Amino acid sequence: MRKVMLILPAVVLSALAAVGTAQAESAPGCAGTVQIGSTGYVMKGSTVLASVKQFKGCGKNWAYTYVWDSHASKPGSFFSSATMVVNGDRDYGSNVNGTNKQNVWSKGTNTLTKCTRAYGEVWGDGGVYWGQTDERC
């Protein structure tokens, strides 16, 4: 049983790498952002819809959601969002939504001294799917 538990995460990570992940650019108005923490994934069942990342730069934290081509290229509209979760509060005020936008950045937050995580959502088919990064303090 233990071997299966160790192998399964490696298989999942290999599958995600084979599909490809987003290569984020710089946050709007800040050329010096760097990713902090892990990449989170927005999942619909076992299908990855988007990547969620947290960045720091220019004295701020930023959330970034990238909707993968495999989902964005499907017929119909989709909506995506990126927001910073600060000390567990998802309604912090940094949320940015996009209609048919693959790259969505939150507003920058002055929260480098607080516990934060990036949170992203994708919706449009009747369901709301979300993912988040690990918390950074």
pLDDT at 94: 73
Domain range summary for the chain, segments of one domain joined by +? 23-132
pLDDT bracket for residue 11 (50, 70, 90): very low
Nearest to 61 by CA among 44, 41, 37, 79: 37
Please indicate whether residue 46 or residue 14 has the higher confidence score (pLDDT): 46
Q: 61 pLDDT exceeds 90?
A: yes
Dihedral in degrees, nearest 10, Cα atoms 84, 13, 46, 37: -10
The rounded distance, in Å, linking the Cα atoms of 76 and 13 is 29
pLDDT band at 3 (very low <50, low <70, confident <90, very high): very low
CA distance readout (Å), 39 to 24, 53, 74, 134: 11, 5, 24, 8
- Residue in 91, 87, 121 with CA at minimum distance from that of residue 104: 121
In the sheet where 60-67 sits, what is the strand order? 34-44, 47-57, 60-67, 103-105
Q: Residue 107, Cβ neighbours under 10 Å: how many?
A: 18
Q: What is the pLDDT of residue 100?
A: 95
User: Mean pLDDT of all residues in the chain?
Assistant: 84
The pLDDT score that the predictor gives to residue 19 is 45
Q: Is the pTM of this model over 0.75?
A: yes
What's the pLDDT tens digit per position in 83-126? 999 987 776 667 788 899 999 999 999 999 999 999 999 999 89
User: How many Å apart are CA 66 and CA 46, to the nearest integer?
Assistant: 17
Which residue blocks in 20-136 are alpha helix, DSSP H? 69-72
Nearest-angstrom CA–CA distance, 87 and 115: 5
